[in-house]
Amino acid sequence: MNAVEVRGLTKRYGNVQALQGIDLSVPEGMIFGLLGANGAGKSTLIKALVGALKPNSGDWQVLGLNPLRDQAKLRALIGYMPQGVALYEDLSARENLRFFGSAHGVPELEQRIGEALEFTELTNRADHAVYGFSGGMKKRVSLACALLHKPRMLLLDEPTAAVDPHLKVRSWQLFRELANAGTTLFISTHLMDEALLCDRLAIQQAGQILIVDTPQAILEHGQTQLTIQQAGQTSTHQIASTPSALAESLAGYGLNPAVQAIALQPDSLETIVLRMLQKSEVAQ
């Protein structure tokens, strides 16, 4: 069964058509990314999936349930992290978790709170008021709130927006751990480098899904500029962004014809900066 099945979903706010006939299938147990610019309709789609919004038309199911008709059943199975932190800032991280966790009737709640705090590396600040936390820490409290009842599916709306590179890397490690344990993650983002970390990716623009595929397959839709210097001469070629196209192009420059594919995976600028920061911390 697919975790999400959406057919022809539309939502209009006044004159703005936020969702224009969305079709989407998300298999269970993977990290599914929804990539799009601000205003593309990502949050609207997520809100429709969690039953916080009534679409104008279309069929949509999450974990086999209708988000509006089966609201109570579905909400016990999903965890939702909104784009804003949506926490009580006067309360401590632990008090926030206790409040939101108690709604689900989580058994052995205090133990689960301890586990969620540990998982999100917040144990040391658990009893501090949230208003003194950094943006990244608030996001982690928000994530911990969504995790408390061990949901089958997590819907995270831009979970790492405005989060520093270290926390971002740590968050994605957490997401991967959850996916490995069988949780389906539906994550919206506008950050390209994050999108590459998903198992499957949908690109959304102006309320429409442009493409759904693996990040690698989407990258292969692009072109790579290949520049070769040989005997003092520089030649530039536009080639397809596939490992086989690179091998094919280099064959003309004497590459062993037995080599069929060459794939390069350069670090992103973020990864490079993060590594530099880590090196500097070790040196200090």
> Per CB under 8 A, does 103 bind other proteins?
yes
Q: Three-state secondary structure along 113-130? A: HHHHHHHCCCHHHCCCEH
Burial of 284 (0-12, 13-18, 19+ CB in 10 A): exposed
Q: Choose between 91 and 239: whose C-beta lies nearer to other proteins.
A: 91
Residue 168's CB is within 10 A of a number of other CB atoms, namely 22
Instruction: State phi, psi for 190 to the nearest 5 degrees.
Output: -115, 10
CA distances to 25, 66, 177 from 30, in Å: 12, 21, 11
> Per CB under 8 A, does 97 bind other proteins?
no
Residues 41-60 that bind other proteins (CB under 8 A): 47, 50-54
> Per CB under 8 A, does 90 bind other proteins?
yes
Both structure tokens of 198: 């998903």
Residues 57-86 that bind other proteins (CB under 8 A): 68, 71-72, 75-76, 78, 80, 82-86
Range in contact with other proteins (rule: CB under 8 A) among 89-97, 118-126, 206-214, 258-266: 89-97
Query: Alpha helix locations (H) across 37-181?
Result: 42-49, 71-77, 93-103, 109-119, 135-147, 165-180
Both structure tokens of 90: 């006067």
Among 57, 102, 235, 278, binds other proteins (CB under 8 A): 102
Query: Alpha helix locations (H) across the chain?
Result: 42-49, 71-77, 93-103, 109-119, 135-147, 165-180, 192-195, 215-219, 243-251, 269-283
Range in contact with other proteins (rule: CB under 8 A) among 93-101, 116-124, 246-254, 259-267: 93-101
Among 16, 88, 211, 214, binds other proteins (CB under 8 A): 88
> Per CB under 8 A, does 167 bind other proteins?
no
Q: Choose between 22 and 201: whose C-beta lies nearer to other proteins.
A: 22
Shortest CB 78 distance to other proteins, Å: 8
Contact 237, 226 (CB under 8 A): yes
Range in contact with other proteins (rule: CB under 8 A) among 95-103, 164-172, 183-191, 275-283: 95-103
> Per CB under 8 A, does 152 bind other proteins?
no
Q: Is the dihedral of CA 72, 74, 79, 83 positive or negative?
A: negative
Among 91, 109, 169, 250, binds other proteins (CB under 8 A): 91
Among 63, 87, 117, 126, binds other proteins (CB under 8 A): 87
Instruction: State phi, psi for 192 to the nearest 5 degrees.
Output: -60, -45
> Per CB under 8 A, does 145 bind other proteins?
yes
Residues near other proteins (CB under 8 A) are 47, 50-54, 68, 71-72, 75-76, 78, 80, 82-91, 95, 99-100, 102-104, 129, 145
